[in-house]
Structures are given as structure tokens and as C-alpha cells.
Amino acid sequence: MKSRIKELAKKYAPEFISIRQHLHAHPELSYVEFETSKFIQAKLKEFGIEYEIKATTGIVGVIKGKNPSKKIIALRADMDALPIQEENVIDYKSKNDGVMHACGHDVHTTCLLGAAKILNELKNEWEGTVKLIFQPGEEKNPGGASYMIKEGVLENPKPSAIFAMHVHPGLPTGKLSFRSGKVMASADEIYITINGKGGHAASPHLCIDPILIASHLIISLQQIISRNANPLNPTVFSITSIHAGATTNIIPNQVKLMGTFRAMDEEWRKKAHELITKNATELVQSMGGEIELKIDVGYPTVYNNEALNTQAISAAAEFMGSENIQETEIRMGAEDFGYYAQLIPGCFYRVGVMNKEKGFVAGVHTSKFDVDEDAIETGIGMMAWFGSSINS
Ligand code: NI
């Protein structure tokens, strides 16, 4: 089975590189991936794979191997792009102004399509069922994964494990990286409006100065987080935007703040939300102001199930050679894969796409991001191997 998958991944690589280039040239923003969805559906039809639509643009395909109820493995790809103007000089450059596949979701979708073609072709040679999940909106709250789950993607039949790859521009092509346990952070957005009382800057005693309140609040919140978070437990709190006032001789009425809160522990996350709300409310009120505070709860932490990841790491080593498998670092970025991995054992792993000689070194979410397409053969093969070989 392993050598059959390798053979087919190599054989089909050119076809899927052109699929990736098509997707790259036609990126669509979160939740409006209509053309991308149609394209994926057409490919599944071409391969002879049954599918249904979920969450408007999402797609769930099913491939049954021998003994289909023996085990059910889900493989997931995201398909949305980012609001970035591409600056690469390539013939498959984005044709959609201001929209770019700058996070590699074109590659993820391509690799899942490639794995689907191979698994379908070899369906008499492996056991169980594979669910193919093409989800919308990974880049935007509340996350396409949450809609897919609401629409029952993890039911009937319920998978016993879910896998997703992510391109890694810091890892050379041909290498993969894994990690058990916590891998990515939760991410919540914080919106604060402080209402004071504006007036002539020469008469501060007649005003309630919201800028002074905001100044205290920013420092106070930073201290509340740093003094309550366990230092062994990674946390980020940052105020990332502050808007108020227009000139030198007026105290404004209002200050608007935005920020981000990230954590690696769901219990601490809940506690921190309470601390932020309580501290901000009390501090602003004590200085005579009024506060509107909203915490837009985003993606949960991504937790890679230990037993599944131990199994995945040895399957990957068997497929790629252990010299090509590394441990991935923890990151404070977020991924809506966390929603799936809260409900069933998950494995979120990285596929190297860096090639210094070919100049593929730019980071994700930048206007110069691109991948070494030799990674597509690896990505396809690995997904197909997980789909067919994992016994969980
Ligand atoms: Ni991404």
C-alpha cells in the first residue's frame, strides 16, 4: 500500500501542481469561496467520489474502502484566502485584486484532492471509510470549522480521528513536523470603548478625560494578565489599536481600543476573560468613565491527542523516513482545527515548503509567500497514507 501511494503521488504530482496553480490564481475570501467550492466539486465528480455540501461552500466527500465501518478517518483542508495584494512575479499570480492565497490553503485543498484521488483508486486495498472535509472560512471568526461541526460533519458516521496539514515556510521541502499535546493558542478579540466627557483642554477639571483612563487601563490590564498567568503557561495580551482625539486643545469624549488575548489553556482562558472584564470595568468606573467591553471569543486551543499523534509520527516515519520527521514548535497563532480536535482526537501537522535555492522563504500572511511545489507530492502522499493506514 505504501509503495502504491508513493507511486501514485509521484505520478499525479504534475496534475495537482497545475490544480494548485489554478487555485492560487483564483483566491476567494472567507465564506465566499463559491468558485473554489465549485472547482472542488467538479474534481470530486471527475474522480467518482460522492459528496455533500455543508456550510454553503464547504464540502464533505466520502470514500469507502473494504469493510467501511471498521474505522472512520477524517482528513481536513481549508480553502479560503486572505485580503492581501500578491507581489510575487509568477504566471499563476492571483487574478483577484487584493486577495491572495498567502496561507497555503490552496496547497491544503490540492493535497486533500490528491489524496482523495489516490484513496479512491486504491479503495479495494485499504479498510475503513475516509471523510474528506473541505471547509470554508478558516481565517475569519467564528471559523468555518464551527459551522461545519454545527451542520454535522463529525456525525453519521462519526470519525475516530481527524488529520489536517499546514504548510510550513520555515521547514525544508520533504520534511514534516509533529507535536503531541498543545500546539496552537486560543485567540480572542477584545473591543473596548471608554466614554468620558470631552471639553476644552484648558479645563480638564470640567472634563472626564478618557485618554488618561485608557492609559491607566492599558497598563493595568497588562499587569493583571502578567500577575495572574502561570509563567509556565504561554499567554499573550496586547492592545493593538487605540483611537481618540484629533487635536491639541480638545479633550475627546471617547477612546476606542482593540486587542488580542491568546492562551494555551482553556481554564486560564476563561478566568482571564473574567479578570479582564472585572478589572477594566472597575478601573474605568473608578475614574468616572463608562465602559463598553466586548470579548469576541475566537478559536479554541489546538490540542493534538497524544495517542493519535504517537501513531501518526510512526506512520509518517515509516512513509517518509524518520530523518524527515521533526518536532514542531508551539505557536501563539490560532487555527480553527481546534474545534474538531476538542471533539475527536486530532492531528495537526506541518509540511515543509521552504526551498532557499529556489527562493521560497517568505512567511505566511505576507505578499511574497509562495511554496516549493515539490512539497505537493509529499503532502498528497502523507494524507493518503494517514487516511488508509491509521488504526484508531
Ligand atoms: Ni492557514
CATH code of the domain covering residue 362: 3.40.630.10
Q: 139 alpha carbon to ligand 1 midpoint, in Å?
A: 7
373 is a catalytic site residue: yes
Asked if residue 100 has pLDDT above 80, the reply is yes
Please pick, among 299, 303, 339, 340, the residue that the annotation labels catalytic: 299
Å from CA of 367 to ligand 1 middle: 14
Task: Give tens-digit pLDDT for 171-210.
Answer: 999 999 999 999 999 999 999 999 999 999 999 999 999 9
- For residue 310, give its domain range: 2-184+301-389
From the CA of 166, how far away is ligand 1's center (Å)? 7
Domain boundary among 246, 276, 296: 296
Task: Work out the average pLDDT over 253-281.
Answer: 97
For ligand 1, the distance from its centroid to the CA atom of residue 102, given in whole angstroms, is 8
Mark 273-303 as b/e (b = at least 16 C-beta within 10 Å).
bebbeebbeebbeebebbbeeebebbbbbbb
Residues 170 and 220 in one domain: no
Instruction: Reply yes or no on whether the pLDDT at 392 is more than 80.
Output: no
Same structural domain for residues 33 and 163? yes
* 49 lies in the same domain as 176: yes
Question: Do 281 and 312 belong together in one domain?
Answer: no
Query: Which CATH number characterizes residue 220's domain?
Result: 3.30.70.360
Return the pLDDT at 25: 98
The SS3 of residue 391 is coil
Q: Both 232 and 367 in a single domain?
A: no
Give the model confidence (pLDDT) of 202-235 as tens digits. 999 999 999 999 999 999 999 999 999 999 999 9
Q: Is the model's pLDDT at 67 over the cut of 80?
A: yes
Q: What is the pLDDT of residue 109?
A: 98
Q: Indicate if 216 and 138 belong to the same structural domain.
A: no
Query: How many CA within 13 A on the CB side of residue 267?
Result: 3
- CA 238 from chain centre, in angstroms, equals 20
Same domain for 125 and 77?
Answer: yes
Q: Are residues 193 and 156 in the same domain?
A: no
Q: Is 39 helix (H, G, I), strand (E, B) or coil?
A: helix
Query: What's the average model confidence in pLDDT over 80-85?
Result: 96
CA distances from residue 7 to 12, 65, 194, 224 in whole angstroms, order as listed: 9, 19, 62, 56
Domain count, the chain: 2
Q: pLDDT tens digit string along 339-377?
A: 999 999 999 999 999 999 999 999 999 999 999 999 999
Query: What are the grid coordinates assigned to 327, written together?
Result: 518536532
Average pLDDT over residues 13-36: 98
In a shared domain, residues 276 and 340? no
Whether 26 shows a pLDDT value over 90: the answer reads yes
Q: Which of 296, 330, 353 is the last residue of a domain?
A: 296
Domain boundary (279, 296, 313) is at 296
Listed residue (196, 200, 220, 199) closest to 209, CA to CA: 196
- Identify whether residues 33 and 152 lie together within a single domain: yes
Instruction: Say whether 303 is catalytic.
Output: no
At residue 391, the pLDDT reads: 86
Looking at residue 378, its pLDDT comes to 96
CA–CA dist 61, 65 (Å, integer):
13
What is the distance of C-alpha 12 from the center of its chain? Answer: 27
**Cα(217) to centroid of ligand 1, in Å?**
33
Is residue 39 domain-shared with residue 151, that is, in the same domain? yes
Catalytic annotation, pick one of 86, 138, 373, 377: 373
- Note whether 314 and 361 are same-domain residues: yes
8 A C-beta contact, residue 260 and residue 189: yes
Give the Å distance between the CA of 168 and the centre of ligand 1.
10
Those residues whose beta carbon sits under 5 angstroms from the ion ligand 1 are: 103
